Amino acid sequence: MHSRIALRIISPVLLLAAAAAVGGPQEDIAGMMPGLTPEDVQESPLPGLYEVAVGSQIVYISADRRYLIKGDIIDLSSNESLTEARRNGLRLAEVAELDESTMVVFEPEEPKHTITVFTDVDCSYCRKLHREMDQLQAAGIRVRYMFFPRYGPGSESWKKADAVWCSEDRQAAMTMAKNGGEVVAKACDDSPVSGHFELGNRIGVRGTPAILTEDGALMPGYIPAPELASYLERG
């Protein structure tokens, strides 16, 4: 499954399977590894190299199966990473598969931009970013929170995330939790925390906050509201 393969680093299983795969039609390549589809394999921008993508993780394999490249392809004429541009698109596609109703959304009166923030309620910089919610909202920035308890299942942060989701007023509960307050809520069956956590791992979240922009860029760490607004305005 993708969630088992695309962890925080490229899995050795992906590397070995990809190396063995190249040389046949996309369907045959996809068949070499559980969870891969033909859409996960395509020709790269460089002749003779194939791209294999799982989640937003990408490796390149030479057509003769001899060489595997883990790194970015840079277009020197534009100084642009073609690999990162591809990752951006893959991240957006992954997140788009998730229903927004599973997120905690803070909506400004006149939204101009949307960011998706992977957050841990106990993370100090996540709390710092949340304290600037009024500034973000005033700048027309719509914030979609997804849960990413850094210490994983069973951690206190995970339990707090579940409590936030199971609260009647999730926005108020999120704010209370990030202010250090105790959120008390009855357990519910529809918590999305596990799905959010797996998705974060697939798209390369390493810590929190992790801010996914409208163009698919994944920005790690806290960014002050004015700087974030300026970045989004520049597009």
120 belongs to the catalytic site: yes
Check: CB of residue 118 under 8 Å from CB of residue 146: yes
The phi-psi region of residue 184 (left if phi > 0; otherwise alpha if psi is between -120 and 50; otherwise beta) is beta
- Other CB atoms within 10 Å distance of the CB of residue 85: 16
Q: Which of 87, 122, 126, 127 is catalytic?
A: 126
Q: What is the dihedral of CA 213, 219, 225, 228, to 10 degrees?
A: -60
Three-state DSSP state, 119: strand
Q: Which of 91, 142, 144, 150 is catalytic?
A: 150
> How far is it, in rounded angstroms, from Cα 97 to Cα 84?
20
Q: Which of 123, 144, 162, 166 is catalytic?
A: 123
64 belongs to the catalytic site: no
188 belongs to the catalytic site: no
Check: CB of residue 34 under 8 Å from CB of residue 79: no
Q: Which of 40, 86, 87, 120 is catalytic?
A: 120
166 belongs to the catalytic site: no
Three-state DSSP state, 148: coil
Check: CB of residue 222 under 8 Å from CB of residue 95: no
Tell me which residues are annotated as active site.
Answer: 120, 123, 126, 150
